[in-house]
Structure 1
């Protein structure tokens, strides 16, 4: 999504691209933090989450603990702002068993 937004900005259509993403009924970000984001990418992603949190369902999955959330968005303040917006009207699930690991183990036996 970040690459899509960057490309749109270079092509002068960032507002239109952000609006198109914002029209989705459900916004899902899986493996957030798996690939590092620079400050610019974090700001673009923050914009999408900030725009969506009041009007859309948002699901963010990450394997990073809350203590490492700043590494995803470049700093703890931006990460806290994203989390705050998401959980204001929703919830936060921390921990738990990995679905992928559990599924892989079930198939081995």
Structure 2
């Protein structure tokens, strides 16, 4: 095992390894120990105590991040006439029919999601 630095020794001295910390206290310690000049991230491992082989104990879910992922999706819509106008008004980046199909055939893909109306 590598030797601990002075900062690491001070941090280890503040944490009782035999104690279970409530989430708020644990996050407070993590924020207190942060010493980098950038926004640090943490990993969380949760032990659920389930048997994944049993179909009735499967855990599934989705979480909506408060600030999103930071990436915006570019949307293309295959539509004509009034539907094309509706798509533009709704915020579609690329709207068309034959011209959009030609772009796809040419390999020019300025979008992430395609909708056909």
State the TM bucket, normalised to the shorter chain. under 0.3
* Greater percentage in helix: 1
Report which of the two structures shows the higher radius of gyration computed on alpha carbons: 2
Q: Structure 1-normalised TM-score?
A: 0.22
Q: Structure 2-normalised TM-score?
A: 0.21
> Which of the pair has the greater relative contact order for Cα pairs under 8 Å at 6+ separation?
1
